[in-house]
Amino acid sequence: MAAVTQQKMDATEARLATLDLPESAPWLAEAREAALTRVRAAGLPGRRDEYWKYTRPDTLVQPEAPTAAVFDHGEEAPVFDTVDRLKVVFVDGVFSSDLSDPLEGEGFTIERLSDVADKDIHWAKDLYGTLETNGQDPVKRPLAALNTAFAYDGVVIRVTGKVSRPVSLIYVHESEASDAMLHHVIKLEEGADFTLLENGPAAARFNKVLEVDVADKAGFHHVRAQGRDHERRAVTHIFGRLGAESTFKSFTLTVNGQMTRNEAILELTGDDAVAHVAGACLGDGDFHHDDTVFITHDAENCESRQVYKKVLRNGATGVFQGKILVKNKAQRTDGYQISQSLLLDDDSQFYAKPELEIYADDVACSHGSTSGAIDDEALFYLRSRGLPEGIATDLLTLAFLAEAVEEIEDEALAEEIVSRLDAWLTRRRKG
């Protein structure tokens, strides 16, 4: 790897100068120091980095967060409002015990990271920063290492049973200049089952890392709705490790947001594991959304799917970088990747970089990427049945996103997401 340039070192040190390592027990302090070393070794992302070719990291890296107006959500109820769940609320990146439910539930333990940080011995020692470290090879992800070093808050969850009631992380944005980092660690024991929900704009700038260790035969389900403030900026990383016969399913809805980079880095380490990641996004105007996915198959007979759909209008930009790496022992891998954009005008842009790297010989991998406009034939068909052009266009837009939304297993959660999409489209149709 090329040496870090002086310019990059300066930018990195300028950012680091604004941060303090949180006080932690020795095991955690050690993990934070090691992460800081990784940040310095790689340097924070710069405009010339190949991995950031389509997304300018400047606002995510600069010392101070660009301010972001707090958005008035009006009467609209927050997403997942009707879902029975354990609510865990963070305001501008700080846990709020007043707004949260008591941190307890059946089949799992949940603690606040800043509480865990005081403990001399904790199981999270083996996990905190571990999957993030593994995920630094072959591509560096310095903003994730920065998070491991400096995140003060987050949740630490250990799941031992089959948990039907989801844990819901709610991110409230109140301050125009908030710069938040959260680091969550989730460990699913063998045969455990768990659903995590996330929603809310979080902060003016948000850096979040989620590390999920899924043991054999366990199932992890994740549904996230990123919104609704427009000026916010976010970089998020999900690091997942999948054991044998385990399942990992993650879906993200993104509406609005000037800058969002969502990375998912999954490693299938046990035979017969299944990993699905999906995303639907709706962008309007000065919207930039980047999905970067890296899935490594390192075991036999595993399945992975990446399904990403973007609707872009008024000059919005979408990016997809997705890779499937099949190592030589990962025979009978079934890999699928699709990234598509619906461009509603000539000003909007979609950049896609699908990659397959395969070392095993008995493998079925497919990938595809398309960009297109609304299908005129379909539009006329709907209008000829009496649907006004706007409603017909919205219906076709929802239909375009359907393949991604269908990746959500739970029907009630899928309906929640569809109703959000519908509301977003309706708001814009009615101006």
Partner 1 sequence: MLEIKDLKVKLEEEDKQILKGVNLTVEAGKVHAIMGPNGSGKSTLSYVLSGRDGYEVTGGEASLEGEDLLDMEPEERAAAGLFLAFQYPVEIPGVGNMTFLRTAVNAQRKARGEDEISAGDFLKLIREKAKTLKIDAEMLKRPVNVGFSGGEKKRNEILQMAMLEPKMCILDETDSGLDVDAMKLVSEGVNALRDAGRGFLVITHYQRLLDHIKPDVVHIMADGRIVKTGGPELALEVEQNGYADILAETA
Q: Judge contact between 198 and 168, C-beta under 8 A.
A: yes
Q: Judge contact between 359 and 327, C-beta under 8 A.
A: yes
Residue-wise DSSP of 219-277: EEEEEEEE-S-SS-EEEEEEEEEE-TT-EEEEEEEEE--SEEEEEEEEEE-STT-EEEE
Minimum CB separation of residue 79 from partner 1 in Å reads 21
Minimum CB separation of residue 250 from partner 1 in Å reads 21
Q: Closer to partner 1 by CB, 162 or 305: give it.
A: 305
Q: Judge contact between 388 and 356, C-beta under 8 A.
A: no
Minimum CB separation of residue 388 from partner 1 in Å reads 5
Strand locations in 42-177, DSSP E? 86-91, 94-95, 108-112, 155-159, 167-172
Minimum CB separation of residue 425 from partner 1 in Å reads 13
Q: Closer to partner 1 by CB, 206 or 251: give it.
A: 251
Strand locations in 164-232, DSSP E? 167-172, 179-188, 193-199, 205-214, 219-226
Minimum CB separation of residue 394 from partner 1 in Å reads 10
The three-class DSSP label of residue 84 is coil
Residues 351-380, one symbol each (x = binds partner 1 by CB under 8 A, - = not), give -------------------------xxx-x
Is residue 385 within the footprint of partner 1 (CB under 8 A)? yes
**Going by C-beta distance under 8 Å and a sequence separation of 6 or more, which residues neighbour residue 54?**
290, 317, 319, 321, 351, 353
**Going by C-beta distance under 8 Å and a sequence separation of 6 or more, which residues neighbour residue 361?**
331
Closest CA relative to residue 198, chosen from 227, 165, 177 = 227
Minimum CB separation of residue 381 from partner 1 in Å reads 4
Minimum CB separation of residue 374 from partner 1 in Å reads 11
Q: Closer to partner 1 by CB, 101 or 403: give it.
A: 403
Is residue 411 within the footprint of partner 1 (CB under 8 A)? no
Is residue 139 within the footprint of partner 1 (CB under 8 A)? no
Is residue 395 within the footprint of partner 1 (CB under 8 A)? yes
**Going by C-beta distance under 8 Å and a sequence separation of 6 or more, which residues neighbour residue 200?**
78, 170, 171, 172, 173, 227
Pick from 383, 410, 414, 422 the residue near partner 1 by CB under 8 A.
383
Stretch that binds partner 1, among 84-92, 115-123, 246-254, 393-401 (CB under 8 A): 393-401
Contact positions with partner 1 (CB under 8 A) in 277-316: none
Minimum CB separation of residue 366 from partner 1 in Å reads 18
Pick from 10, 118, 389, 415 the residue near partner 1 by CB under 8 A.
389
Stretch that binds partner 1, among 30-38, 55-63, 108-116, 384-392 (CB under 8 A): 384-392
Closest CA relative to residue 109, chosen from 90, 123, 98, 121 = 123
Q: Dig out the tokens for 235 from the structure.
A: 């970089």
Residue 118 backbone phi and psi in degrees, to 5: -85, -15
Report the distance separating Cα 345 and Cα 376, nearest Å. Answer: 14
Minimum CB separation of residue 185 from partner 1 in Å reads 37
Number of Cβ within 10 Å of residue 23's Cβ equals 11
- Which helix or strand (DSSP H or E) is residue 291 part of? strand 288-297
**Hey, which residues does 239 pair with through a beta bridge?**
211, 265
Is residue 387 within the footprint of partner 1 (CB under 8 A)? yes
Stretch that binds partner 1, among 111-119, 167-175, 287-295, 396-404 (CB under 8 A): 396-404
Pick from 176, 190, 286, 403 the residue near partner 1 by CB under 8 A.
403
Report the distance separating Cα 304 and Cα 250, nearest Å. Answer: 12
Pick from 29, 70, 391, 423 the residue near partner 1 by CB under 8 A.
391
Minimum CB separation of residue 399 from partner 1 in Å reads 3
Q: Closer to partner 1 by CB, 72 or 377: give it.
A: 377
Is residue 381 within the footprint of partner 1 (CB under 8 A)? yes
Q: What pairing do the DSSP bridges indicate for beta strands 86-91 and 94-95?
A: antiparallel
Q: Judge contact between 231 and 203, C-beta under 8 A.
A: no
Tell the residue number behind the tokens 């199932």, with chain if given. 219
Pick from 34, 396, 414, 423 the residue near partner 1 by CB under 8 A.
396
Pick from 26, 74, 102, 386 the residue near partner 1 by CB under 8 A.
386
Binding residue count for partner 1, defined by CB under 8 A: 23
Q: Closer to partner 1 by CB, 185 or 342: give it.
A: 342
Q: Closer to partner 1 by CB, 40 or 428: give it.
A: 428
Is residue 274 within the footprint of partner 1 (CB under 8 A)? no
The residue ranges that bind partner 1 (CB under 8 A) are 376-378, 380-389, 391-392, 395-396, 398-403
